[in-house]
Structure 1
């Protein structure tokens, strides 16, 4: 009788410990799965090839601040902001990098090339064929942009906005 009680208590102890540990692991996993880049935190690192095949790296310290834009050729709001991005890059390219990450896993290279030609983009177009960068930045809607300072920290997360508003944010970023 005493032996059965001891075995039952050991089983209950193990079951309780298992439930307790699983609760905390689930919370930690949920927390990391829901954590997208935020202002004040380091930008996730990645390396992608450009449309021309040249590798570009994001993450860590850099010479200039960065406007990191996630887009696709079929995206109406992306097309709407394209002329503003081009104009702002042309104006601030000496003080700001702009990388446009194409959601290539949801796009075609032919459409990307056509869009780049149509809008005369001169900034690097990075291809994300597996969605790795899009995933690490947890991009839920496109376009989504991230302003990243020289130390590699996210300063702001942006969605489509008027050119004047975006320019004010860029001016603040490059003056810091």
Structure 2
């Protein structure tokens, strides 16, 4: 009997992880215009969708320190940032629900994570993107449109990021060649 109670408790916790944020939030679909935002990271960096529009795609990862899937995926997020951070703006957004900046710092210090991170204390950014559970990944293209969203890290997510990075590399090479010709 105790084993069944533990199993049901675990299933309930997992369900709450995925569906506990804001069920009333409007879910944005692929192709929808992303809501503009201007946030400040824990390190003091300002990131704005309107400033990045036309320049750089954005990868938003909504997460929490109490979310086991989120923590499991974090090493992967750090590697994405390390490899593609010049071409794609990566932002880790802690949803702020039952969490703290201190918990984030402990996790980052323990695992040597160094990512642009926002603490969404009141859940405004989380709600504006219609996020209803963690982890949640959203890709925004350079036109400011939702290009992809998923609950878990997927091959499709990785391939889209790589494609965007390859496209950025080709654009930079072409721009540098043009500059070289004009000299």
Q: Same fold (TM over 0.5)?
A: yes
Cα distance per residue 1:75-134 (max 9 Å; x no partner): 100011101111111111121110011112431111011112233222210111111001
Residue 100 of structure 1 pairs with residue 75 of structure 2: no
CA distance 1:115–1:58, change in 2 (3 Å): farther
Residue 84 of structure 1 pairs with residue 76 of structure 2: yes
Return structure 1 stretches of 4+ with deviation > 3 angstroms: 173-176
Aligned to 1:56: 47
CA contact (8 A) 2:26 2:127 kept: no
In structure 2, C-alpha distance between the alignment counterparts of 1:144 and 1:151, rounded to whole Å: 21
Which ranges of structure 1 fall in alignment gaps of 5 or more residues? Answer: 1-32
CA contact (8 A) 1:68 1:100 kept: yes
CA distance 1:95–1:69, change in 2 (3 Å): same
In structure 1, C-alpha distance between the alignment counterparts of 2:60 and 2:44, rounded to whole Å: 18
Aligned to 1:37: 28
Q: CA shift at 1:38, angstroms?
A: 1.4
* Bigger CA radius of gyration: 1
- Superposed, 1:24-173 pairs within 5 Å as 35-59=26-50, 61-162=53-154, 164-173=155-164
Q: CA shift at 1:53, angstroms?
A: 3.0
CA contact (8 A) 1:48 1:127 kept: no
Taking structure 2 as the reference length, the TM-score comes to 0.70
Which ranges of structure 2 fall in alignment gaps of 5 or more residues? Answer: 1-23, 168-183
In structure 1, C-alpha distance between the alignment counterparts of 2:107 and 2:91, rounded to whole Å: 15
Using the TM superposition, name which of 164-173 and 35-44 deviates more. Answer: 164-173
CA distance 1:34–1:86, change in 2 (3 Å): closer
Q: For 1:169, what is the secondary structure of its paired residue?
A: helix
CA contact (8 A) 1:82 1:119 kept: no
